[in-house]
Amino acid sequence: MRLQVLHLTGQSDPRSCALSPVQHAFLDDLPLPEEAKVRLNFPYDATLAPYRDVPLWLGSLRHVVLFWRVRLRRRAWAARHRPLVEAQLRRAERSLVLAGSIGLDLLGRLDLPRDLLDRLTVVAYGAVASRPPACRTIRVASRRDHLARWWPHDVTVDAGHLDYLSIPELAELCGRLATELAGEAA
């Protein structure tokens, strides 16, 4: 496969890596063939449970736990998740990673090999990351996002922390990048 587009966000439900309906819809709208759209989220394990709606308070609590787990058990965490993530990313010559919230930090803490990072372009929306990966990254934030607005960013939009995938500016940016990367991979 020449190009793939995939989501990488924290796990609001650690028993699942299924995409939410909003994430599916975002992929549906990208100007790419279906086979380029990865219909799983981090950690890309198809054997996990299907999507279930998670209350905001519970998803937030699980992200805080994940945030600390990654930092306190860094090597063990990376060793557990790196093989699945690396295998998914190696399925294509180029990957457009849609990293939401702590997804950029998770990607950076996997310590992926340089040859793989060179093939990635990351759009990090609402990014909260103290250790981003060393690859092409475009950070998107909003003044209304009380978490991400304090972190460095390249593009400013008008969205709340959970609303980025529904704003036209992000869809346009990702559509342009997908078209650019598809051309490079051809």
Domain map of the chain by residue range?
3-185
Q: What is the pLDDT of residue 14?
A: 82
Q: What is the pLDDT of residue 155?
A: 95
Low-confidence spans in the chain with pLDDT less than 50: none
Q: What is the pLDDT of residue 59?
A: 74
Q: What is the pLDDT of residue 68?
A: 77
Q: In the chain, how long is the greatest CA-to-CA distance?
A: 44
Nearest-angstrom CA–CA distance, 168 and 145: 17
At how many degrees (to 10) do helices 74-89 and 56-72 cross?
Answer: 110
User: Under CATH, to which class is 3-185 assigned?
Assistant: alpha beta
- Name the pTM for this structure: 0.93
Consecutive H or E run containing 7: strand 3-8
Q: What is the pLDDT of residue 72?
A: 76
3-state secondary structure of 94: strand
CA 31 remoteness from chain centre: 18
Residue written as token pair 């819809």: 25
Q: What is the pLDDT of residue 186?
A: 66
Q: What is the pLDDT of residue 50?
A: 83
